[in-house]
Structures are given as C-alpha cells and as structure tokens.
Chains A and B, each alone.
Chain A
Amino acid sequence: MASEPQGGLTEYIQHHLTHDVITLGGGGFHLDSWIVAAALGLVFVLWFGLYARRATSGVPGKGQAFVEIVLEFVDGQVKDVFHGNRSFIAPLALTIFMWVFFMNTMDLIPLDLIGSAVKGVAGEQVAHNTHFRLVPTADVNTTFAMSISVFFLIIFYSIKAKGGWGFTKELFTAPFHAHGIVAKTLLAPFNFFLNLVEYLSKPVSLAMRLFGNMYAGELVFMLISGLMMSWATFVPGVLVNAGWAIFHILIIGLQAFIFMVLTVVYLAMAHEHH
C-alpha cells in the first residue's frame, strides 16, 4: 500500500488484505494463495481417491456413501446439461466443485487464528510483518487462473467438436447468418466482434463472480472482527461473526455450484453447431 496506515480499523483491515508476496521471475507471486490452494487440492484428491480405490459393491460405509452422494449429485447436474460422452467433463466438474468449495470454506476459519498462532510462537513483531491470507478464492489471481483454464478448455472442445475450419468459420458467420457472398463478408466483422466479446466475457464473468463474492464475504468478516476487537464486545462479536458465517455457508456452496454448472454449460455450448 502506498499510503501510510492511519491506525485502528483501517490498518487492521489493510494488514489482513495484504498477501504473502514473494518475488518470482521479476513479478510478485502470492505464496499464501498458492500454498492453501495446492494443499486443498491434494486433500480433495487424496480423500476421494482413497474412497474410490476402496469402493465396494456391498454395503458402503459412511465415508464411501458420502463420496458417492457428492459424485452422483455432480454427475446428475452434468447429465442434465451436457449430452454426450462425459468421461472427462464429469470428473472435471467434480474437481472444480469440490476444490472451489474447499477453498471457499477457508473463509469460515477464524480470521485471526493464524495471526494469533504466529504471535504466540514468534512474538508481536514477527506477527506484524507476516501476512497470510487464507482464502485463495478471494485472490483475483486464483479465480482468473481457474477461469482461464476453463476458457482454454472451451476453445479446445470447440475445435474438437467442429474442427479447426468449422470453428474459424463459425467465428465469422454466427450469430448473424446470411446468404450470398456480399452479405456474408459485410456481416463478418460484426459477427467476429460479437463472438470475441462473447468468448472473452466468459472467463472474466466466471472469475469476477467468484472473486467478488468471496472478497466481499471476507471483508465483512474483517469488518466485524476489526470493529469488535475489545474484550467488552467479545460476546456480540462472536454472535455477529456466527450470524454472518451461517449466511456465508449458503454463498460458499452456491458459488462453488455456480462455477461448476457454468463451466459445464460453456463446455456444452462449445459442442453445439450453429
């Protein structure tokens, strides 16, 4: 931050909004988002992989039943939207759903838990200089990384479904169709421009939706914690935090679900011919 922290609430929130940045290849790299996201991805893979390996066709245990419920829920959603071979799309949707859900859930971990731990171990001065943001999806880099990956998948599936020539042709001839060479060339720039906007708006809206929701949620937690820091407001602070957390559970699940469904919808659209 360029400005000097003015102390109090502003400083508290600015401190919590600062990422743990390391310099990597000339640019800043948000180490905290990366570590948390990678760790949660591993947790998901190990957890679901373990139950997939140990799956029995007999009476399932509680763990296997839970994994099966999640799997069938996601597979059902994909089946509704995407018609065709979903041997890749359904696992992709499951990964996106569970991963985003895990990353969003980090919002529910108390804000100052890590800060207090650092303070307890290494002292006040170290804690003041340590920045660690726990929610990877409240970092615009994480959400854009995911949505740009989805964007490349859209391009890949468009080319796979229509062929390189068909894809290029569609860029210039849809959505306005015309007959005759003159009308076609006349409409080509407009079609191309509209398609460009359509394609580029997909990753941007996908990333900004998730980021905006999680960032706003995180900021409200920070505001509550920052405003109710004293011992006198400890009990109301806990109550207000709990209230917002309960409401936030809805947003956490909903945003993970929306990210998954929209990814599948976009991939299904990529398979459509105009």
Chain B
Amino acid sequence: MELVTQIAQVQAFTAIALGLIIGLGAIGACIGIGIMGSKFLEAAARQPELVPLLQGRMFLLAGLIDAAFLIGVALAMFFAIANPLLSKLHG
C-alpha cells in the first residue's frame, strides 16, 4: 500500500477512536455527575442543615467522577496532536 493511503487510514481510525474516547467518556461522566447532583439536591432539600457537610463531599466525588473522563481527554488530545502510531509509520 502507498504511504499516503496508509497515513490516511491511520488518521481516519485515530479520528474515530478519538470521537469514541471523548464521547463515551463524556456520557459516563455526565450520567455520573447528573445522578450525584440530583441526589445532592434531594438530600439538601430534605435536610438543609447537612448542606455544608455534603457539599465538600460532592465536590470531592465530582473530581473523582470527572477524573477518568479527563484522563481519556488527555490521551485523546495527545493522539490528536502527536500521534505516536503515525510517527511509527514515518519510520
């Protein structure tokens, strides 16, 4: 196969992979944040005196939920900018 075709193929597959990484990660993170936020609001409405305690934990968990997604985004952006698979093709 010609080099140009190979490069185009790698780029195409990488682009699809990037979309999958970011898209699926975003779905998971959003569902997680949504569930947690709704539960937090419910809990805050039931027992407003617990809000300061819960708020700290909510932010902690928000960071934990976001983390896997952001690791995925970092990986995806690394592949988008400096694709190691492509540079292997260049030899």
Interface residues of A (CB under 8 A from B): 1-4, 9-10, 13-14, 17, 208-209, 211-213, 215-216, 219-220, 223, 251, 254-255, 257-258, 261
Contact = CB atoms under 8 A, between A and B. Distances in A.
Contacts of B72: 212
Given A3-B90, A254-B62, A213 B67 contact: yes
25 contacts: A1-B82, A1-B87, A3-B82, A3-B86, A3-B87, A3-B90, A10-B81, A13-B81, A208-B71, A211-B71, A211-B74, A212-B72, A212-B73, A212-B75, A216-B71, A216-B73, A216-B74, A219-B77, A220-B77, A223-B77, A254-B62, A255-B63, A257-B59, A257-B63, A258-B67
Contacts of B62: 254
B70 A2 contact: no
B81 A212 contact: no
A255 B63 CA distance: 7
Nearest to B61: A258
Nearest 5 Cβ contacts at the A-B interface:
A212-B71, A3-B87, A216-B74, A209-B67, A215-B74
Contacts of A13: 81-82
B81 A261 contact: no
Contacts of B75: 212
Given A2-B88, A209-B67, A257-B60, A10 B74 contact: no
Nearest to B75: A212
B27 interface: no
- Do most interface residues of chain B lie in helix, strand or loop, or is the interface mixed? helix
Interface of B: 59-60, 62-64, 66-67, 70-75, 77-78, 81-82, 86-88, 90
Nearest to B84: A2
Nearest to B71: A212
Contacts of B81: 9-10, 13-14, 17, 219
B74 A209 contact: no
B6 to A, nearest CB: 14
A139 to B, nearest CB: 13
Contacts of A257: 59-60, 63
Among B66, B81, B86, B90, find the residue whose CB has the most chain A CB atoms closer than 10 A: B81
Contacts of B70: 212-213, 216
A216 B82 contact: no
A211 B73 CA distance: 12
Contacts of A211: 71, 74
B36 to A, nearest CB: 14
Given A14-B81, A261-B60, A2 B90 contact: yes
A209 B59 contact: no
A85 B64 CA distance: 27
A17 B82 contact: yes
B77 A14 contact: no
Contacts of A219: 74, 77-78, 81
B69 to A, nearest CB: 9
Contacts of B90: 2-4
A212 B68 CA distance: 8
A14 B82 contact: yes
Nearest to B82: A14
A1 B90 CA distance: 11
Contacts of B66: 213
A78 to B, nearest CB: 13
Given A211-B71, A212-B70, 14 more contacts: A3-B87, A10-B82, A209-B67, A209-B71, A212-B71, A212-B75, A213-B70, A213-B71, A215-B78, A216-B74, A255-B63, A257-B63, A258-B64, A258-B67
